[in-house]
Amino acid sequence: MVFVLAGGVAAQRLVGMFAGAALLARVPSLARLASLIPAAVVAAVIVQLTVASGKSIVVDERLAGMAVAGVLVWRRAPFVVVVLAAAATTALLRAM
């Protein structure tokens, strides 16, 4: 099974390398969707690191800090403000 998956990934990379640019040039909506993939991957990794501990889900102060950060990003706050507010929220809740 691992070899089948590895072969599929290799084939997908080869197709993307040779036909990806032509496909994205022909289908503009696909190009817009492809540009969103890196942000989605980073968001998924951040969420996984925030709520996972081993094989269990942990809901603690970090999740509240992430919620504050998410609201501030949605409201287009500067990056420094987002980071400081999330850190302050997490620290205040841990101190309680």
Quote the pLDDT of residue 76. 95
78 phi and psi, to 5 degrees? -60, 150
The answer on pLDDT for 21 being more than 80 is no
CA distance 63 to 95: 15
Quote the pLDDT of residue 72. 96
The answer on pLDDT for 52 being more than 90 is no
pTM over 0.85: no
Q: Are 69 and 63 within 8 A, CB to CB? A: no
C-alpha 92: how far from chain center: 26
